[in-house]
Structure 1
Amino acid sequence: MFVTDQLAEHARTQPEKVITSFKGKDTTYKQFLKQAQNLAGYFQAKGYQKDDRIAVYLPNSDYFLVCYYACQLGGYAFTPVNTKLTAPEVEYIFTHSEAKALIYEERFEPVLNQIRPALEHFHDRLQVGGEATLETVISDDSISFHEGTVNPDDTTVIFYTSGTTGKPKGVMLTASNVRAVAQIWSEAMDITSSDRVLIVTPLFHCAASHVFSIPVIYKGGTIVIEEAFSPEQTLNTMEQAKVTIFFGVPAMYSILLNTPKMARLDLSHLRLFTYGAAPMPYELVKKLKALYLNVKVQNLYGQTENSPAATTLKDHYALDKIGSVGEPLPQTQVRVVDEDGNDVPPGEVGEIVVKGPQNMKGYLKNNAETYKTLKNGWLYSGDLGRLDEEGLLYIVDRKKDMIIRGGENVYPVEIEEVLYQLREVLEAAVVGVPHQVYGEVPKAFIVLKEGQTLTAEDVIEYCRPKLAKYKLPAAVSFIDALPRNASGKVLKNNLRTSVGV
């Protein structure tokens, strides 16, 4: 059964059960299914075919998930757009994906106004809160939806994730990938129809959507949605909505544990704290477990390319194996290999490779990167790690030099490309440096051309309109030369060492 089959089954057996709760509005399974069918039927009537891409430029909301399931029903490729991106970054995704329709919120008009030519290829534009509204379509019960044939290998989701080239890559996930990730995570977290998960991280990232929303709906539970993380509001919702599962990046837990209100709330309904995207400090986990004795703590690891689902560290290891990302998930194999693809012994470092039904179909219009990443059914993660004697996985380094800032992936080369646009810059390199709240932030090292001058403020202000806020360099150092090895490769480890990393 695909995730849409499960949705239809829940709408039949528990039609009045709440599936989503957002800003005081509860939507039942019966209502939600009808809304998704109406939207899918709207595109059918317009002549859309399987694999046509639907760009969804929305913040966290119940509508985001309605759009997701409409695409699953119709076999369209749901293509979410990160709402934090700048106009040029959004334009690239629109153009590269060749999306036929755009669903967006009115507040993003200022961004869209900067890239009007890129909007001309859209056959349809549906706005939340505008004239041709999404609300009108999903509430129009005169629309007919015809069950089509969605095949397991049909692309139904495309998540854009930045790559080492600096340009985002479209990760194509199939109907069977989505079904697999729903099964995998619902089993790994023992999800039932009684669960109520609180979503505060962006749904346009696959963690909030694929690790939590889709698995919980698959089991008939409830998704409580907040537009964004706000400590006081998040805690209020956690208590009032009787949330059973919460997911946050470590920075969020740090903030929550320093919010006095947290210790006073009745969170007796909570059963699971989950985290991912960055390591959780030992003291933070210890404090969390001491404060909530009956709440389990679970670490999650995966990548967009595997839906994301690779390993998990269960509660019984939460403190004893704090540096680990755990053991392979159900239906999943994980190995650590050398440059030739051979397993390395326990304790030795190699590249992490993953095999399972959740592995992506490939990168959209990028066969070269697909062939590098998928080999004989194994997904080569680009992350370096090691296995201990018990088979638990540890991330040692990010092979691709990725920076994780408060749960957001930042790729240095993307920032470097912008820095090289400054006429004063001869060379530039970006590395991640520790930050008390965000875990890591980007720091730029710049070599100026002879006779040129720049300040750190000049550099950051230049980057501001070209990069999303979370990608902006937090610090800039000017140096005489970048350290390089004999083959000319920049030694980023040396740069990290220079700032005490």
Structure 2
Amino acid sequence: MLLSDVLKQHAANQPDRLITVFQGRETSYANMQENSRRLGGYFHRQGLVQGDVVALLLNNSDWFVTCYFACHFAGLIVLPINTRLAPREIEYILHHSEARMLVYDHDLSEIVEQVIPQAPNLQHFVHVGEGGGGFEIGEAIKLSGEIPELQQQEDDTAVIFYTSGTTGRPKGVMLTHRNCVAAASMWNEALGMQREDRVMIVAPLFHCAAAHVFMLPTIYGGGALVIEPGFHPQGVVESLQKNEVSIFFGVPAMYMILLNTPGIESMEVPHLRKFMYGAAPMPYELIRRIKQLFPQTGVQNLYGQTENSPGTTTLGDEHSLSKAGSVGKPLPRSEVRIVDEEGNEVPIGQVGEIAIKGDHVMKGYLKNPEATALAIRGGWLLSGDLGKFDEEGFLYIVDRKKDMLIRGGENIYPIEVEEVLYEMPEVLEAAVVGVPHEVYGEIPKACVVVKDGHSLTEEQVVVFCRERLAKYKVPALVEFVDELPRNASGKVLKTVLRGEIKFS
């Protein structure tokens, strides 16, 4: 099955049923298919051919869904880009992917103007929103065009998500139609989704989690998406009630904020049956408070990574407190095991690397066969996460990929920040670690050694980073130290740095 087939089937069987609700605008399955096909026709009219890459620099809206499927109807590869990235980070992605078209929010025009000179492959542009020159998406749909006869295969690349890597350069994760449909099927079953469900999306759709754990599985099951521009606590409270939402997903920081939002205790949500969370552990006490406030609503944990579409395990509501700290059991039609450095499965209770196998495991990294060979061995994806199974088959993560930290659901690899810090002429050495934060879980802190004869302030470091990094990657704290702790081989001991930090 191709991704376009999923939409085709529902448009034929339930044409008038809603697929999206966005700021009062409702779209049916039939209208979504029509708009997507016409936009795909416009892409071909501009000279794009099967296999070309279309980049989406879009905020959350129903237009994201339209563009996503337009690419698949036209045999094109869709590339969602994180709108929070700095211009030079976006430049790299556009250049590396050789994207030929960019669909962007008009609100992001200033960024687009900065990156265009550094992306010579970009030849066509469509914007969403009023104002400005060039083609607006509504005009493009009206122009349309014929989509030629295509010979698409399940193993053709359908989507590319760029994910940060420990090498400092983001890697393009290639997901096929088979990968995406498999993930949609797995999550639809694991989350017990129903055709009557209305699933609220507040997490950014440019992230694989929102797009492939909620957008696709909901559509796969014929349900409706209630799309919010972002996470605004009071707006979420109102929308949950007004739009009769049945499933909500958020990172733990969102739940902590929601529980302190005025009106939450009197909120009437009889249709709300599931609270989902992922990206970071949920404290036992927070889960308990949620279940106490909403006794009729289940709480379910989700774990996965972009390289597996994403999908590894899930912890159901019935175990949300008794197995707090676990990420649950493998998804349907997915294999998960714990292996040692040689790839051999280790005994129950022993710590090793989490490995995943299934139709949802990526095709590979774009233009990076070496990294692909290291990540996928014998059909098994090596996650880089260390974990263990208990006697009942529940998976526990005991450590994360090397030094990665998670700020409010956003992955931050310290090397990305460190490379920027080393661009400062005053910096001799730098190391970035995560420190605890009561809302975001973790925030990045930079430990900096200044060269002799030079001076540097925290403000100067922050301003320099802001110009070169996404806002969430900018160090929230800067500490100047005389030297960085190292082991006998000269490696910086970040465990020592994390242990030395006192934060309140």
With normalisation by structure 1, the TM-score equals: 0.98
Amino acid at match of 1:222: A
Alpha-carbon distance between aligned partners in 1 of 2:136 and 2:377, rounded to the nearest angstrom: 44
Q: Encode CA deviations 1:411-458: one digit per residue, 9 max, x unaligned.
A: 100000011011111111111111000001101111111222212222
Q: Which moved more, 1:271-280 or 1:128-137?
A: 128-137
Identify the match of residue 232 of structure 2 among 230, 233, 236. Answer: 230
TM superposition shift of 1:120: 4.0
Structure 2 segments unaligned to the other structure (5+ residues): none
2:116–2:122 CA contact under 8 A, matched in 1: no
The one-letter amino acid of 1:495's match is L
Equivalent pair of 2:278/2:301 in contact (CA under 8 Å): yes
What's the % identity of the aligned pairs?
54
- Residue number in structure 2 paired with 1:404: 406
CA deviations 1:37-65 (Å, max 9, x no partner) are 11112223334222210011110011111
2:157 is the counterpart of 1:136: no
Alpha-carbon distance in 2 for matches of 1:381, 1:355: 11
User: How many angstroms does 1:6 deviate by?
Assistant: 2.4
User: After superposition, where does 1:266-281 map in structure 2 within 5 Å?
Assistant: 266-281=268-283
Which residue type is aligned with residue 5 of structure 1?
A: D
- Using the alignment, how far apart are the partners of 2:89 and 2:249 within structure 1? 27
Spell out, residue by residue over 1:287-340, the C-alpha distance to the aligned partner (whole angstroms, 9 max, x if none): 101111111110000000000000000111100111000110011111111111
Distance 1:477 1:344 in 2: 41
Q: Please name the residue that 2:461 is paired with.
A: 459
Which of 360, 363, 387 does residue 361 from structure 1 map onto? 363
Q: Which residue of 2 aligns with 1:106?
A: 106
SS of the residue 1:394 aligns to: strand
**Superposed CA RMSD:** 1.3
Partner of 2:26: 26
1:428 to 430, 437, 440: 430
CA contact (8 A) 1:72 1:175 kept: no
Q: CA deviation at 1:139?
A: 3.9
C-alpha separation in 1, matches of 2:71 and 2:230: 24
Q: Which residue of structure 2 lines up, in the alignment, with residue 126 of structure 1? A: 126
More displaced stretch, 271-280 vs 10-19: 10-19
Q: Distance in 1 between matches of 2:502 and 2:116?
A: 45
Q: Does 2:141 correspond to 1:160?
A: no
User: What does the per-residue CA deviation read over 1:355-414, in whole Å, with 9 as the maximum and x for residues that have no partner?
Assistant: 111000000011111111011100011111111111111111113311110011111000
Structure 1: 5+ residue runs without aligned partners? none
CA deviations 1:92-136 (Å, max 9, x no partner) are 111111001111111111112223312442221111134311111
Q: Distance in 2 between matches of 1:43 and 1:113?
A: 21
Name the SS of the counterpart of 2:265 in structure 1: helix
Tell whether the 8 Å contact from 1:73 to 1:147 is kept in structure 2 after alignment. Answer: no
Give TM-score scaled by structure 2 length. 0.97
Q: Tell me, yes or no, if the aligned pair for 2:19 and 2:27 is still in contact at 8 Å.
A: yes
Asked if structure 1 preserves the Cα contact closer than 8 Å seen for 2:315 and 2:326, the reply is yes
Alignment partner, residue 64 of structure 1: 64
Residues 184 and 212 in structure 2, CA contact (< 8 A), matched pair in contact too: yes
- Range moving further from structure 2, 107-116 or 151-160: 107-116
Are the aligned partners of 2:44 and 2:145 in contact in 1 as well (CA < 8 Å)?
no
- Within a 5 Å distance, the mapping from 1:3-402 to structure 2 comes to 3-129=3-129, 130=132, 131-140=134-143, 143-146=145-148, 148-402=150-404
Deviation string, structure 1 residues 240-267 (Cα, Å, up to 9, x no partner): 0000000000000000001131111111
Amino acid across the alignment from 1:425? V
The number of residue pairs the alignment matches comes to: 500
Q: Are residues 40 and 368 of structure 1, via their aligned partners in 2, closer, same or farther at CA, if it must alter by over 3 Å?
A: same
Q: Is the 8 A contact 2:46 2:124 kept in 1?
A: no
Which runs of at least 4 in structure 1 moved beyond 4 Å after TM superposition?
none
Q: How far apart, in 1, do the equivalents of 2:11 and 2:112 lie?
A: 36
What is the CA–CA distance in structure 2 between the aligned matches of 1:139 and 1:273, rounded to whole Å? Answer: 39
SS in 1 for 2:54: strand
Query: Does structure 2 retain, via aligned residues, the 8 Å contact 1:75–1:154?
Result: no
For the 8 Å contact 1:206–1:308, the answer to whether it is kept is yes
Q: Say which SS state the counterpart of residue 261 (structure 1) adopts.
A: coil
| 1:496 alignment counterpart | 498
The separation in 2 between residues aligned to 1:365 and 1:2, in whole angstroms, is 24
SS of the residue corresponding to residue 60 of structure 1 reads: coil
Answer whether contact 1:413 1:430 (CA < 8 A) is retained.
yes
| Contact residue 102 and residue 125 of structure 1 kept, 8 A | yes
Contact 1:3 1:182 survives alignment (8 Å) = no
Instruction: Give the 3 Å change call, closer, same or farther, for CA 147–240 of structure 1 in structure 2.
Output: farther
For the 8 Å contact 1:18–1:28, the answer to whether it is kept is yes
- Conserved? CA contact 1:352–1:384, under 8 Å: yes
